[in-house]
Chain A
């Protein structure tokens, strides 16, 4: 039985458009896989296909040997896939604590476990602790990103799919968010798949880098090696 997230020959798209064309990726527990590429390379579609928001047309997705292909997002959330979508992951009309409680809806928890999990989350994300009764709409961009990550973690996921967590954040805040991602992968052994526009920053924290172009994988390699591959960087990553 293989461990971690195994994506094989995945094909997915919208209507007549093929956004992912035979993508294979293996992401191991406790590692960060950075998925890079230009706009329209298929990065977001890849995450959507893994979390069930898009139904794959071909190929398979397995987690620890269990076939997940074609299941809906509600089911996949219960089997340990947490997807933090780009941009609008916070429910602005709900309070910080309500947002967090939603994170626990994919698993059975007693009242005591719920309180315990929330206390842990506030312990780790101290900037949220003082704001539990505030509407999420009042949070800053960085706090919102912390909130969605905290919410995803409350689901106790095996796989965390992060779509552009640094988007729109000030450089210092972005560094905080990426630090947090590194910590998570070290402490908890979660399999993290990170989609990033900022390839340099992503490769700096990732173990493995995958470069997509027009729906196909053009390179899979150790993140450090990728960061040093000048030709590839110029061609696909723009730095």
Chain B
């Protein structure tokens, strides 16, 4: 029973990280109907920037803040420089461009920061928390992970639901022509969407790296899990992305706990294939609504 509780809690922690990646993918998907395969690579890059800043200044939070800012800038620049020229071209173009960007970022990170594994510090203590005498299998750092993703998800939800800027973004995502005819600068809205996605990706990189080591390809598998979570939840649905992340995180935690960690990748892949075959619109997608 204690084991089950521990697996569940640590699953939730990892699930929140997948959720952050999933959310960043959903943000871009809703705005541009494209998948950013470079999302993990961008997160890796900003986390490297964080480690350099932490190393130079000795302050974790300075690195944290700089990495988030770098995520915003990298997201916006990517949209302006790399993605915008693919607008109106076949969809495959943008896919290939983001894969190219991923390879480019991983190569550049190797040149700038070195290809060796580096350990990334954690914001808070990594000693386990106990409930009475029972070890819960999670740490203060894990609580920070959950809190940080929850807070940013809530902020995003508030932004989208209750602000004019959020309405502008939703209008541009759902019907770009009507948005433009209503005076909304859709290009600018897309840049903001990519910047927000970059921010979330950077956050995910910062949160996951203490438990994975940091190296140029370190975010690849995290990206795949985040992508699976996004597909699971339906690429259209932010709430679905978060739910997908949690389901996947907890599910994979059971798999790794009870069956062995060798099975996590194959189960995740199997799940991805299963969802794409049975319910390609995702579990929480608004696709049926869209067809009206």
**Chain A interface residues toward B at CB < 8 A:** 51, 53, 72-74, 77-78, 82-83, 85, 88-89, 91-94, 98, 101-103, 105-107, 135, 137, 151, 155
Give 14 A-B contacts (CB < 8 Å), ordered by A residue: A72-B180, A73-B180, A74-B185, A77-B180, A85-B178, A89-B178, A91-B171, A91-B178, A92-B174, A92-B290, A101-B164, A102-B184, A105-B164, A105-B171
Residues of the A chain whose Cβ atoms lie less than 8 Å from the Cβ of B185: 74
Contact of A88 among B170, B175, B184, B289 (CB under 8 A): B175
Contact of B171 among A77, A82, A102, A135 (CB under 8 A): A102
Residues of the B chain whose Cβ atoms lie less than 8 Å from the Cβ of A102: 167-168, 171, 178-179, 182, 184
Is B186 part of the binding interface, using a Cβ–Cβ cutoff of 8 Å?
yes
A91 to B290, CA, bound (A): 10
**Chain B interface residues toward A at CB < 8 A:** 164, 167-168, 170-171, 174-175, 177-186, 286, 289-290, 292
Residues of the A chain whose Cβ atoms lie less than 8 Å from the Cβ of B179: 102
A89 to B289, CA, bound (A): 16
Q: Is the CB of A91 within 8 A of B174?
A: yes
Evaluate whether A85 and B183 lie within 8 angstroms (CB atoms) in the complex, with A91-B175, A92-B289, A105-B164 already known: no
Q: Is the CB of A93 within 8 A of B181?
A: no
Contact of A155 among B180, B183, B186 (CB under 8 A): B183
A78 to B185, CA, bound (A): 11
Who on chain A is nearest to B184 by CB? A105
Q: Nearest Cβ in chain A — how far from B236, in angstroms?
A: 9
Evaluate whether A105 and B292 lie within 8 angstroms (CB atoms) in the complex, with A73-B180, A74-B185 already known: no
Q: Nearest Cβ in chain B — how far from A109, in angstroms?
A: 10
Q: Is the CB of A94 within 8 A of B180?
A: no
Q: Nearest Cβ in chain A — how far from B185, in angstroms?
A: 5
Q: Is the CB of A74 within 8 A of B178?
A: no
Q: Nearest Cβ in chain A — how far from B36, in angstroms?
A: 22
Q: Is the CB of A98 within 8 A of B186?
A: no
Q: Which 10 A-B pairs have the closest CB atoms?
A: A106-B183, A77-B183, A73-B180, A137-B292, A93-B174, A91-B175, A102-B182, A83-B181, A91-B174, A74-B185
Q: Nearest Cβ in chain B — how far from A135, in angstroms?
A: 7
A88 to B286, CA, bound (A): 18
Residues of the B chain whose Cβ atoms lie less than 8 Å from the Cβ of A88: 175, 178
Contact of B183 among A74, A98, A101 (CB under 8 A): A74
Q: Is the CB of A135 within 8 A of B186?
A: no
Q: Is the CB of A151 within 8 A of B292?
A: no
A85 to B176, CA, bound (A): 12
Evaluate whether A92 and B182 lie within 8 angstroms (CB atoms) in the complex, with A53-B177, A105-B164 already known: no
Contact of A53 among B164, B181, B186, B290 (CB under 8 A): B181
Q: Nearest Cβ in chain A — how far from B256, in angstroms?
A: 38
A47 to B95, CA, bound (A): 34
6 new A-B contacts, CB < 8 A, other than A89-B178, A92-B292, A93-B289, are A73-B181, A74-B185, A88-B178, A105-B171, A105-B182, A155-B183
A137 to B290, CA, bound (A): 9
Residues of the A chain whose Cβ atoms lie less than 8 Å from the Cβ of B168: 102, 105
Q: Is the CB of B178 within 8 A of A77?
A: no
A93 to B238, CA, bound (A): 14
A135 to B177, CA, bound (A): 19
A83 to B167, CA, bound (A): 20
Q: Nearest Cβ in chain A — how far from B259, in angstroms?
A: 40
Who on chain A is nearest to B183 by CB? A106
Q: Nearest Cβ in chain A — how far from B100, in angstroms?
A: 28
Residues of the B chain whose Cβ atoms lie less than 8 Å from the Cβ of A78: 183
Residues of the A chain whose Cβ atoms lie less than 8 Å from the Cβ of B286: 93
Q: Nearest Cβ in chain B — how far from A101, in angstroms?
A: 6
A78 to B181, CA, bound (A): 9
Residues of the A chain whose Cβ atoms lie less than 8 Å from the Cβ of B175: 88, 91
A101 to B164, CA, bound (A): 9
Who on chain B is nearest to A89 by CB? B178
Evaluate whether A85 and B181 lie within 8 angstroms (CB atoms) in the complex, with A93-B290, A135-B289, A137-B292 already known: yes
Who on chain A is nearest to B175 by CB? A91
Residues of the B chain whose Cβ atoms lie less than 8 Å from the Cβ of A151: 182
Residues of the A chain whose Cβ atoms lie less than 8 Å from the Cβ of B167: 94, 98, 101-102
Evaluate whether A94 and B171 lie within 8 angstroms (CB atoms) in the complex, with A74-B180, A74-B184, A83-B181 already known: yes
Residues of the B chain whose Cβ atoms lie less than 8 Å from the Cβ of A89: 178
Residues of the A chain whose Cβ atoms lie less than 8 Å from the Cβ of B177: 53, 85
